[in-house]
């Protein structure tokens, strides 16, 4: 579908990354996995719920053998600001001891969520732990954390779409976009 035909949701200010750009960014990430995980024991761990469309696309394009698992972590309590302490809501089933773990995340902002996840995984003694993220907001970093691969680096904006939510909605947008200020300002006035 061409970009000009994309219908823009009325809550959206502007598209930051189009459907086509997302698709090509993900193909490159899949290639990076295929190049780096030959003859490894790869376990991709997708962080719920935002990374589901991302990992779904990767799953069909990664050609090296892998297992996939899901970890549920909450950082946001509704609005647009992350809560300070990430909470593990459900654990993975895979045994990652001695395995090459690749964390698949939607977006890294302060870095607190993934730092917490890495500390948790280290307790199981995996062979390696790497981080692949669809989006990186390096200016938001509050702890030292570098993604091993980021499809897109973006400025400090609150964005939605392609798995990323606002109050659990708008994950279904096929593009990544900036929300209109009036949408979240109205919400905070209502509280």
**Cα–Cα distance, 29 to 149 (Å, whole number):** 7
190 is catalytic: no
Neighbouring C-alpha atoms within 13 Å toward the C-beta of 113:
28
Q: Which of 50, 53, 111, 126 touches Mg ion (CB under 5 A)?
A: 50
Listed ranges 21-29, 53-61, 122-130, 158-166: which one lies at the site for ligand 5GP (CB under 6 A): 158-166
Residue 53 interface partner, choices Mg ion, ligand 5GP, none, CB cut-off 5-8 Å depending on type: none
Structure tokens at 118: 């890495």
Q: Which of 100, 106, 109, 136 is catalytic?
A: 109
**Cα–Cα distance, 154 to 176 (Å, whole number):** 11
Number of residues that bind Mg ion (CB under 5 A): 2
- Asked if residue 133 binds ligand 5GP (CB under 6 A), the reply is no
Listed ranges 25-33, 94-102, 107-115, 124-132: which one lies at the site for ligand 5GP (CB under 6 A): 107-115
Structure tokens at 43: 């376990």
Q: Which of 45, 58, 96, 107 touches ligand 5GP (CB under 6 A)?
A: 107
DSSP element (H, E) containing 133: strand 128-136
Residue 158 interface partner, choices Mg ion, ligand 5GP, none, CB cut-off 5-8 Å depending on type: ligand 5GP
Handedness of CA 84, 85, 91, 94 (dihedral sign): positive
Listed ranges 11-19, 90-98, 99-107, 123-131: which one lies at the site for ligand 5GP (CB under 6 A): 99-107
Cα dist. 179→23, 137, 173 in Å? 21, 16, 12
Contact positions vs Mg ion (CB under 5 A):
50, 106
């Amino acid at each position: 579908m061409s970009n000009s035909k994309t219908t823009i949701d009325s809550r959206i200010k502007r598209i930051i990354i189009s459907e086509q750009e997302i698709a090509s960014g993900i193909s490159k990430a899949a290639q990076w996995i295929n190049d780096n995980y030959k003859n490894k024991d790869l376990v991709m761990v997708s962080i719920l719920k935002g990374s589901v469309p991302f990992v779904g696309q990767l799953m069909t394009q990664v050609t090296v053998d892998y297992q996939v698992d899901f970890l549920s972590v909450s950082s946001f309590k509704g609005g647009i600001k992350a809560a300070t302490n990430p909470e593990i809501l459900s654990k993975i089933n895979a045994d990652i001891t001695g395995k090459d773990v690749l964390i698949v995340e939607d977006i890294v902002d302060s870095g607190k969520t993934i730092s917490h996840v890495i500390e948790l995984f280290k307790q199981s003694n995996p062979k390696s732990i790497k981080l692949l993220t669809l989006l990186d907001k390096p200016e938001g970093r509050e702890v030292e954390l570098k993604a091993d691969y980021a499809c897109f680096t973006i400025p400090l904006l609150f964005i939605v779409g392609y798995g990323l939510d606002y109050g659990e909605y708008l994950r279904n947008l096929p593009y990544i976009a900036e929300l209109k200020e009036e949408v979240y300002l109205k919400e905070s006035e209502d509280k």
